[in-house]
Amino acid sequence: MVEEINGTPFDEKLMAMLQVIAREGITNAARGFSGLLGVQLTVQNPGAHLVALKDIPNLLGGPEMEAIGIYLRAEGGLSGQIMLIIPYQKAMELVDLMMENEPGTTQSIGSLERSALAEVGNQAGTFFLNTLAAITGRDIRPTPPAVMVDMIGAILDIIIATMGGISEHVLLLQANLENGDREVETNFWVIPDPETLKIIQAGV
């Protein structure tokens, strides 16, 4: 049985195209990360997945795990949502890495740390969308990122509120970013709007 989102079937050709977008887009996002952090990041296991809404919190460690969500929308010729979700402890380690602090220096996420993390989202989102624009020939631009500190379940309410009335499933493009023995554990979720999926499908 072929799953659908608002009438868009996920056949093998569409999923193959989405795998290419995931691999190239997230790799370019990692390049943006690398330039921002001044370190070389590698991408592990990029791919496209069709996931049930109800399963998302458990995929990220449970709805009550505290995390940082960096959220932005893509607008223009294609539209959708992008969110990086980083466990709270790992987010503090990422801030230390960005600010060239000794590991363990950052003990909380305040306004300065939020600004640094927002720039992470801005860089990653921009590089990813540039790749998507090049592949599809469509103009795409990101909105300013919003940084949320909350439980994973609360952070994901944004996605569920937006997509819940459309489908029980959402498309997720996911990868982990690593730098040698220091990991940047992020979940890079890209959720295209249904009309965007139809545009991509028409080009397959």
pLDDT of amino acid 164: 57
pLDDT tens digits, the chain, 204 residues: what are they? Answer: 455 555 566 677 777 887 888 788 888 888 887 887 777 878 877 777 878 877 878 887 888 999 999 999 999 988 888 888 888 998 998 888 878 788 899 999 999 999 989 988 888 888 888 888 888 888 999 999 999 999 988 988 877 776 655 567 777 777 777 777 766 767 788 888 878 877 777 765
pLDDT of amino acid 167: 62
| CA 128, 75, 144, 15 torsion-angle sign | negative
- Sketch the domain layout of the chain as residue ranges: 4-202
Fold of 4-202: Chemotaxis protein chec (3.40.1550)
pLDDT of amino acid 109: 93
Tell me the CB-side half-sphere exposure of residue 179, using CA atoms within 13 A: 18
